[in-house]
């Protein structure tokens, strides 16, 4: 299976879910054009309350469609964009990527993975228990966050549903993803 963009989404308001679009435009150093989370500094309300000048490491949120499949097998119905993601992918092990991986989306756009998305209680507004299903504990007690990755825009460009994705790993040694 090839690495593919399944859906693209955005919202001009700080709403949890984002509407699907035919395409979105990524703007270097800012994020998704017309999305409430676009900006040089972090636009997520809880983060702004702590530090309004923090750099925006969460410009573009990506979730793997395989998570939607897993959730559906457990009785949850989640559509692309509903969990707040801007880009829904298929065929990419997003959670297994090292920090600094670059994803070439379509012909021009490039994002760099900055870290894991920390799931929040707003997921339970979609369906009770959804947040818990996006978390898992390994035998050693390590918490696995499955609700996607965050990234910054390195190169501007349009991203369309159906675009291919090409991965560019950072130089070794690779650093595992941590929440941002």
User: How many domains, in total, are found in the chain?
Assistant: 1
* In a domain? residue 177: no
The confidence band for 49, taking pLDDT boundaries of 50, 70 and 90, is confident
SS3 60: strand
What DSSP state is assigned to residue 146? -
The per-residue pLDDT for 103 is 98
* In a domain? residue 19: yes
* In a domain? residue 74: yes
Tell me the two tokens of residue 8. Answer: 């693209």
Range of the domain at 99: 4-168
As a whole number of Å, the end-to-end CA separation of the chain is 29
pLDDT in tens, 86-131: 999 999 999 999 999 999 999 999 999 999 999 989 999 999 999 9
CATH code for position 73 = 2.40.33.20
The per-residue pLDDT for 120 is 87
Lowest mean pLDDT among 37-41, 49-53, 68-72, 85-89: 49-53
Q: Is the CB of residue 25 less than 8 Å from the CB of residue 157? A: yes
**Whether the predicted pLDDT of 164 surpasses 70:** yes
* In a domain? residue 178: no
The per-residue pLDDT for 143 is 92
Average pLDDT over residues 31-59: 92
* In a domain? residue 175: no
Average pLDDT over residues 133-153: 94
Inter-CA distances, 23 with 20, 36, 45, 61, 71, Å: 8, 16, 26, 15, 25
pTM of the predicted protein model: 0.95
The per-residue pLDDT for 1 is 61
**Whether the predicted pLDDT of 175 surpasses 70:** yes
Any idea which residue has 């696995």 for tokens? 144
* In a domain? residue 69: yes
* In a domain? residue 176: no
DSSP β-ladder status, 19-21 and 23-27: unpaired
**Whether the predicted pLDDT of 142 surpasses 80:** yes
* In a domain? residue 174: no
Average pLDDT over residues 11-15: 93
**Whether the predicted pLDDT of 150 surpasses 70:** yes
**Whether the predicted pLDDT of 152 surpasses 80:** yes
What share of the chain in percent tops pLDDT 90?
89
């Amino acid at each position: 299976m090839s690495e593919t963009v399944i859906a693209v989404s955005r919202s001009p308001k700080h709403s949890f879910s984002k509407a699907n679009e035919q395409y979105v435009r990524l703007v270097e150093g800012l994020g998704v054009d017309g999305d409430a989370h676009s900006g040089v500094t972090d636009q997520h309300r809880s983060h702004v309350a702590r530090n309004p000048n923090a750099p925006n490491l969460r410009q573009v949120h990506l979730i793997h469609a395989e998570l939607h499949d897993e959730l559906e097998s457990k009785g949850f119905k989640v559509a692309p964009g509903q969990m707040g993601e801007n880009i829904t992918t298929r065929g990419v092990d997003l959670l297994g990527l090292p920090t600094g991986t670059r994803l070439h989306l379509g012909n021009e756009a490039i994002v760099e993975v900055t870290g894991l998305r920390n799931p929040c209680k707003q997921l339970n507004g979609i369906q009770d228990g959804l947040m818990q299903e996006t978390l898992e504990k390994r035998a050693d007690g390590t918490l696995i966050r499955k609700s996607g990755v965050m990234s910054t825009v390195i190169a501007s460009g349009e991203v369309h549903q159906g675009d291919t994705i090409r991965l560019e790993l950072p130089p070794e040694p690779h650093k595992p993803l941590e929440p941002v």
